[in-house]
Structure 1
Amino acid sequence: MRTMTIDQYNKLTQRMTYASSEAKGKIIFMHDVILSTPPNCAVIHKNGNGLDNRRENLELVKLID
């Protein structure tokens, strides 16, 4: 698993649209459900399309300060 700073992640994802839902007042992203994203990690969409949630398009990265 590669690492990425929070700033790098924010720059990469700031203009993305994601498939999501709301449950009990909390937003749930489809990519987090698919990969069971652990704490201090995030999901990158390899092709830059935040709506493409095929497993082969998702990459788990560890976030560091």
Structure 2
Amino acid sequence: MSEVIKTYCCPICKKVFTDTKYRPFCSKRCADIDLGNWFNEAYRFEAEEIDEQDLEELAKLPEQPEE
């Protein structure tokens, strides 16, 4: 019976590769490029603007005890 070889696509360089220790990246170079993108704030999370009314509602909530 033949073994199925799973392939992946590197999100940085788009190279198709089989499993590596740097997965989901094809190489250390691509992993380092991705890390640099995070450090340089090239990636962003979408967030909603908080308005004054939202802040007032949050202030009314009881504080949660620290665990």
Q: Same fold (TM over 0.5)?
A: no
Greater RCO (Cα-Cα under 8 Å, separation 6 or more): 1
Between Structure 1 and Structure 2, which shows a larger proportion of helix residues?
2
TM-score when scaled to structure 1?
0.21
Q: Which has the larger radius of gyration?
A: 2
TM-score when scaled to structure 2?
0.21
Between Structure 1 and Structure 2, which shows a larger proportion of strand residues?
1
